[in-house]
Amino acid sequence: MMNTIPKTRIAVLVSGGGTNLQAILDAQKAGKITDGEVVLVISNNPDAYALERAKNAGVKGVVVPKKGRTREDFEKDLVAALEEHGIELIILAGFMCILSADFTNRYPERIINVHPSLIPSFCGEGFYGLRVHEAALAYGVKVTGATVHFVNEIPDGGKIILQRAVEIQENDTPEILQKRVMEQAEWHLLPEAAQLVSRSIRERKK
């Protein structure tokens, strides 16, 4: 029965290098994401290397610029691109824009994000990129990790889908820790969550 139901159409939103996007594309190629398909990559940054990764994978890339525009106009164009491609699941993979409640309310439990800590630690407004790892090291925690969660109007406030712990080592710098969290947690969790949520959306179409 499931074979006759179209796969969940996924858009990945990016701002930079796109390593998390690559992890999703690789997992899809390896047959680990069977219920969803990445059909669109959107970047707010025209120079994002992630767009090159999309092109190499044969996935359509679109730029929706944010610089010098109101959030309202930016999100209007974002919604237009998502609707044009019939997107059912949105994955934020290093997307450096905070989305408004108006936007997130349009897609309840249809937007997922990966955060480089074990939420509720080191999360919320201002905690992104290296800042998260700097805070974890400054606090002296022995274990950190990554979390994939649904996105709502509160930064890092949506329901948790998956988490994975990563041990902190004695000589860690924020950069070394960031790389380990990506390799050991983020690049595994995000494709896994993409499959879980894609399956759940696909099953509801029965």
In a domain, 42, yes or no: yes
Task: Give me the catalytic one of 115, 133, 149, 188.
Answer: 115
In a domain, 59, yes or no: yes
Is the pLDDT at 2 greater than 80? The verdict is no
In a domain, 85, yes or no: yes
In a domain, 1, yes or no: no
Q: Give tens-digit pLDDT for 109-130.
A: 999 999 999 999 999 988 989 9
- Catalytic, 115? Answer yes
In a domain, 22, yes or no: yes
Question: Both tokens of residue 137?
Answer: 């090291």
Count: domains in the chain: 1
CA distance 138 to 124: 17
Q: Between 155 and 188, where is the model more confident?
A: 188
CATH number of the domain that residue 151 is part of: 3.40.50.170
Q: Which domain holds residue 92?
A: 6-203
In a domain, 90, yes or no: yes
pLDDT at 93: 94
Q: Give tens-digit pLDDT for 8-31.
A: 999 999 999 999 999 999 999 999
Q: Which residue's entry shows tokens 């450096």?
A: 96
pLDDT at 1: 60
Read off the pLDDT band of 178 (50, 70, 90). Answer: very high
In a domain, 112, yes or no: yes
pLDDT at 206: 81
Adjacency order of strands within the sheet including 36-43: 60-63, 36-43, 8-14, 89-92, 111-115, 143-150, 160-167
pLDDT at 74: 97
Q: Give tens-digit pLDDT for 59-84.
A: 999 999 999 999 999 999 999 999 99
pLDDT at 3: 77
